[in-house]
């Protein structure tokens, strides 16, 4: 089978920790062809989703003294080739949030893959509907007391009331812990 993984730049992934790398390694070990691309390398051409894809060969991590160890280099990539994503058996969307405009546009492009021909994981529509930070608000019994606000005074009042809070921007990764 042929699998395409839409990932963040491979040079920045940690082969001893990143689940995308583990999935690609497992697919490769099972004999599947593994290809990679990035969200900014997606295109719609004549009503179909295309990508600049690179074949990738991974050197699997090894368990040594209770921890995973990667060889250097741990991956080799082939030349980029423009391919229709419907030529893949599955496309795995594995980019890290935050959800940006570029991320949103990538999900729109992935909607142009015929689901009868190619499985897309995670569903582009599902990614749009289940924002990684807002979706958790549906499960109030499983999360700490939470507010979402752009109003600085509302945030200050909440911080003063609680004494210790974690602030997370909706559109970024920076997390700050504050004590009042």
User: One digit per residue, pLDDT tens: the chain, 180 residues?
Assistant: 999 999 999 999 999 999 999 999 999 999 999 999 999 999 999 999 999 999 999 999 998 888 999 999 999 999 999 999 999 999 999 998 777 888 899 999 999 999 999 999 989 999 888 877 788 889 999 988 988 888 888 888 998 998 888 887 776 666 566 565
> What is the DSSP pairing of strand 90-93 with strand 119-121?
parallel
Q: Tell me how far the alpha carbon of residue 112 is from its chain's centroid.
A: 19
Domain with CATH 3.40.50.20 in the chain: 2-129
Which CATH architecture is the domain 2-129 placed in? 3-Layer(aba) Sandwich (3.40)
Read off the pTM.
0.82
Buried b / exposed e along 136-160 (16+ C-beta atoms within 10 A) = eeeeeeeeeeeeeeeeeeebeebbe
- Give the integer Cα–Cα distance in Å for 64 and 62: 6
- Give the integer Cα–Cα distance in Å for 44 and 38: 14
């Amino acid at each position: 089978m042929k699998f395409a993984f839409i990932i963040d730049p491979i040079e920045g992934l940690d082969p001893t920790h990143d689940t995308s790398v583990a999935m690609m390694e497992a697919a490769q070990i099972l004999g599947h062809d593994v290809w990679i691309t990035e969200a900014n390398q997606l295109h719609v051409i004549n009503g179909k989703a295309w990508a600049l894809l690179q074949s990738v060969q991974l050197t699997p991590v090894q368990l040594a003294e209770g921890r995973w160890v990667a060889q250097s280099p741990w991956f080799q990539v082939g030349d980029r080739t423009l391919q229709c994503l419907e030529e893949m058996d599955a496309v795995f969307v594995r980019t890290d949030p935050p959800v940006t405009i570029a991320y949103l546009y990538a999900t729109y492009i992935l909607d142009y893959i015929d689901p009868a021909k190619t499985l897309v994981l995670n569903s582009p529509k599902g990614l749009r509907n289940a924002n990684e930070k807002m979706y958790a608000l549906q499960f109030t019994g499983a999360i700490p007391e939470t507010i979402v606000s752009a109003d600085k005074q509302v945030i200050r009042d909440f911080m003063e009331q609680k004494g210790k809070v974690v602030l997370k921007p909706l559109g970024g990764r920076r997390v700050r812990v504050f004590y009042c």
